[in-house]
Amino acid sequence: MDWDKLRIFHVVASAGSFTHAGEKLYLSQSAVSRQIRSLEESLNTTLFNRHARGLSLTDEGESLFKTAEEVVAKIHVTEQQLIEGTNLPRGELKITTTLSFGSTWMMNNIRSFIEKYPEINVQLLATDTDLDLTTREADVAIRFHPAQQLDLIQRQVGVFHHHLYASPEYLSRKGRPESMEELNDHNIVTYGDISHSPIRNIDWVLDEENGLKRKPILRINSIYGVLQAVKSGVGIAALPDYLVQGSTNVVRILNDIEGPAFPAYLVYTQEARNSKRIAAFKDFIIEQFKDARF
């Protein structure tokens, strides 16, 4: 099997269209299409179903794609091992974490890691969707829930906390609640898509003692967006403390009320356990979290 055609097949299958694959490969759509047709002819089978919305893999295509994924992953691991043949950590490091943590804490702290390891090419992927580490969507993750895949290595590196926050302008306008019960008379802002929340029980502020749920005035599918709504005076919200650190125009209320604590995990694959890049990032995170107040 022609390796170059297999490589192009893998990119096309991942991209879902000849056009997007061509953009990644720096080839024209027609050139990519010709390579795939040539591969199909050499194998005497159809790998893709062509339709108006793009491409979908046939059963034979799915089988070949699974093998191609394994091959590409193994080549990447070997490549990084060769690159890391020196004593200094070097090579590409794709870090993924939640949108809110990535756009706040990581942005405020990643500089020291980059300056310490200039030979590591850092790419930060901030998303509330868990990227697949086994298919190299990312190399290492900071997550706030246990990994679902049993073959991943995960290490708890910290514990984060939730508290209630509001803006001074909102409190002067609506009054400061003195108990959880008084929250029933206030505007509550919460995370919008509970089924895809990166943190479990993120909407705990909506729970009433009688088992009913408070109705929020606004739901936002971004924890960082919830912070901005609080700062603008929309209402009260439960926020992770790391997100509020350094923010102006937001104050903690009901200081005796503790929201649920949630652990932070550093997650990576078994194949990456000996990587100097992963080890350097792990040491960096452990050191940074050691004295941090979350």
User: The domain containing residue 97 runs over which residues?
Assistant: 84-160+263-290
116 and 153, same structural domain?
yes
Q: What is the three-class DSSP state of 268?
A: strand
8 Å CB contact between 223 and 240 = yes
CATH value at residue 59: 1.10.10.10
CATH value at residue 273: 3.40.190.10
176 and 58, same structural domain?
no
Average pLDDT over residues 222-239: 92
137 and 277, same structural domain?
yes
pLDDT number for residue 81: 67
What residues form DSSP beta bridges with 154? 267
118 and 198, same structural domain?
no
Domain boundary among 82, 109, 138: 82
194, 241, 201: which is closest to 219 by C-alpha?
194
Tokens 């047709």 label which residue?
A: 37
130 and 52, same structural domain?
no
Average pLDDT over residues 116-130: 90
pTM over 0.85? The answer is no
281 and 255, same structural domain?
no
Domain boundary among 37, 52, 82: 82
Rounded distance between C-alpha atoms, residue 83 and residue 156, angstroms = 28
Looking at the structure of the chain, the number of domains it has is 3
Rounded distance between C-alpha atoms, residue 84 and residue 224, angstroms = 36
Q: What is the three-class DSSP state of 90?
A: coil
Residue 293 has pLDDT above 70, yes or no: no
Residue 86 has pLDDT above 60, yes or no: no
248 and 107, same structural domain?
no
156 and 127, same structural domain?
yes
271 and 151, same structural domain?
yes
If pLDDT is split at 50, 70 and 90, which confidence band does 154 have?
very high
Burial class (CB in 10 A: 0-12, 13-18, 19+), 139: buried
If pLDDT is split at 50, 70 and 90, which confidence band does 294 have?
low
Give every CB contact of residue 42 below 8 A, 6+ residues apart in sequence: 1, 2, 5
255 and 182, same structural domain?
yes
Q: What is the pLDDT of residues 3-12, one digit of tens each?
A: 888 889 999 9
268 and 154, same structural domain?
yes
Give the start-end residues of each E strand in 98-144: 120-126, 140-143
If pLDDT is split at 50, 70 and 90, which confidence band does 171 have?
very high
